[in-house]
Amino acid sequence: MILRPSADSHRVIGKYTGKILVGLGLLMLVPLICSLVYQEWSVALDFTISFSLCMVVGFGAQAFFRTERDLTWSEGLVVAAGSWIWAVLLAAIPYYLSGHMGSYLDACFDAMSGFTTTGLFVLQDLDHLSNGMNVWRHVLTYTGGQGIVVIALTFLFKGTAGAYKMYVGEGKDERLLPNVVQTARAIWLVSIVYLVIGTAALFVVNLWLGMSPARGFILAAQQFMGAWSTGGFAPMSYNGMYYHSLAAELIIIAIAIAGSFNFALHWAVWTGKRKEIFKNIETITFSISLICLTSVAMWGLIKMGVYEDSLSLARKAFYIIASGHSGTGLTVIYNRSFVTMWGPIAMIATIIVMIIGGSACSTAGGLKVFRVGIFVKSILADVKRSMLPESAVLKVKYHHVKDSYLTDKLSKSVAMIITLFLITYLSSGFLGVLYGYDFTQALFEGVSALSTCGLSCGVTTPAMPDGMKVAYILYMWLGRLEFLSIFAVGGYLYSVLRGR
């Protein structure tokens, strides 16, 4: 028998969601201040309206849903997944008011793309977007990478048992420190140190490229946020091609690769265990698949005769494949070049790396290299087991921060998640075909949305059918939070409607 959630359950969900929306409102102060600095008065007004709405909804929810009870597991998951929907609806308001969006749905598309660090966008006339609005796009993607709940945990919570349940609901399940609030703060510490150093490095490159200090700085900050959060938003429509700089590309791709690492790995390396990076199952799987699939893409590109010399070949192929693998989605080629120049081999290699994705408990999406590594180890173990005597016991070890043994339970859960993802990836290809797109192109774009990557072969445009926009919004949400939280929301809604 399914039990209908109690009134107290609604109250606790409402209260915590309200807290998270207050956090979102506070985030809007960043672009608001930026637009005031750049004297963009109408943009500042847009953000004032949006900030006020967040505060009214956030504090209103906390005042209306008063309770002292802490969250249960299912409620924590519902808060995490549900607050992303509320946050997108509110974060889309300044987008919509900017006049650069065709509709409110388009604004929600870009807001979801930002929060989930995807990087696909349907915003029009990007090159003439205000500084305030461009900063908002990048702040969304930077904070979305860490997680909306992580932000709220860092600044707005004193620490409750329910905090961990929301943290898990947001697709992160590893504690860097014993306390979940301090784990959230450690995640922010890593991100902010990277922000300062990465922005400074890109600022120097921008100055060297001849930009004024003000423009060089704001572009550097945006470039960094797009790369570190594996977000893929770029301040200019030419994306990485705008800079024509090998130095900028190297810094950006190194930041993007680091951004796709597990925060638990960052913390281990940062606290002295530097060898961890060479023996962790995630970095090993990532490196092997990155090098192998870059080689495949290069082979395809050489066959197509696209690039003449090894530097151009390595520069383009590695940048795109690493960008796809880390889930960043920054690019140094035109979107349609995937179809018109790169050819099927390089395009399929790009699809595969987007499917594999980055590390668990990171800003990246996709299946996650941890699962792929465990999946491969499980297959190899089964092959080995079949060759051993029946009485033999085979223990398979893997290393992720500490040594662990592969269990049947872990192998099964990994296989289940991989199956669910692969079915959803295929569905995205068929959905595109239903709307009249070529299957490979639709699959490329759908995989990019579901893996929260952001590389595009030209399917995502403002003219894309609304049905596909809604589907991609759901794919991005699903890809970022993974299935657990979404199932929890589905279960919650079902129990509200059908429970007794």
Partner 1 sequence: METKGPFPHRVKTANKKQSFPSLTAGENWGKYLAGLATEIFFGLGLCLIALIIATILLAMMR
Alpha-carbon Rg for the chain in angstroms = 22
Site for partner 1 in 320-359 (CB under 8 A): 322
Q: What six digits make up the tokens of 452?
A: 């929260």
362 binds partner 1 (CB under 8 A): no
Going along 110-178, which residue ranges are E strands?
Answer: none
- Within 10 A of 1 (CB to CB), how many other CB atoms are there? 4
**Looking at beta carbons only, is 61 or 269 nearer to partner 1?**
269
Task: Judge contact between 90 and 54, C-beta under 8 A.
Answer: yes
List 161, 314, 380, 388, residue binding partner 1 (CB under 8 A) = 314
DSSP 303: H
Site for partner 1 in 254-273 (CB under 8 A): 254-258, 261, 266, 269-272
**Looking at beta carbons only, is 271 or 461 nearer to partner 1?**
271
Residue 436 in 3-state DSSP?
Answer: coil
294 binds partner 1 (CB under 8 A): yes
399 binds partner 1 (CB under 8 A): no
Give the separation between CA 340 and CA 232, rounded to whole angstroms. 22
287 binds partner 1 (CB under 8 A): yes
In whole angstroms, the minimum distance from the beta carbon of 225 to partner 1 comes to: 17
55 binds partner 1 (CB under 8 A): no
- CA distances in angstroms from 356 to 62, 364, 424, 441, 464, listed in the order given: 40, 10, 14, 18, 26
- CA distances in angstroms from 391 to 381, 386, 387, listed in the order given: 15, 11, 12
What is the H or E stretch that residue 175 is in? none
Strand-pair partners of 136: none
List 1, 128, 178, 210, residue binding partner 1 (CB under 8 A) = 178
Site for partner 1 in 221-240 (CB under 8 A): none
* Position 401, amino acid: V
In whole angstroms, the minimum distance from the beta carbon of 114 to partner 1 comes to: 24
List 310, 340, 404, 419, residue binding partner 1 (CB under 8 A) = 310
Give the separation between CA 302 and CA 6, rounded to whole angstroms. 63
295 binds partner 1 (CB under 8 A): yes
Site for partner 1 in 238-257 (CB under 8 A): 250, 253-257
Task: Judge contact between 369 and 357, C-beta under 8 A.
Answer: yes
Determine the size of the site formed for partner 1 (CB under 8 A): 43
In whole angstroms, the minimum distance from the beta carbon of 218 to partner 1 comes to: 23
List 302, 376, 417, 474, residue binding partner 1 (CB under 8 A) = 302
List 12, 34, 202, 298, residue binding partner 1 (CB under 8 A) = 298
- CA distances in angstroms from 3 to 68, 108, 165, 498, listed in the order given: 22, 33, 21, 8
Span near partner 1 by CB under 8 A; candidates 36-44, 48-56, 314-322, 372-380: 314-322
26 binds partner 1 (CB under 8 A): no
Question: What is the sign, positive or negative, of the torsion defined by CA atoms of 260, 148, 226, 206?
Answer: negative
List 107, 225, 290, 481, residue binding partner 1 (CB under 8 A) = 290
Query: Quick one: how far is CA 353 from the chain centroid?
Result: 15
**Looking at beta carbons only, is 194 or 483 nearer to partner 1?**
194
In whole angstroms, the minimum distance from the beta carbon of 319 to partner 1 comes to: 9
**Looking at beta carbons only, is 108 or 290 nearer to partner 1?**
290
293 binds partner 1 (CB under 8 A): no
Q: What six digits make up the tokens of 313?
A: 């070949």
Going along 299-441, which residue ranges are E strands?
Answer: 397-400, 402-405
Give the separation between CA 353 and CA 360, rounded to whole angstroms. 15
Task: Judge contact between 152 and 87, C-beta under 8 A.
Answer: no
Span near partner 1 by CB under 8 A; candidates 44-52, 99-107, 181-189, 233-241: 181-189
Residues that bind partner 1 (CB under 8 A): 177-179, 182, 185-186, 189, 193-194, 197, 250, 253-258, 261, 266, 269-272, 274, 277, 283, 287, 290-291, 294-295, 298-299, 302-303, 309-311, 313-314, 317-318, 322
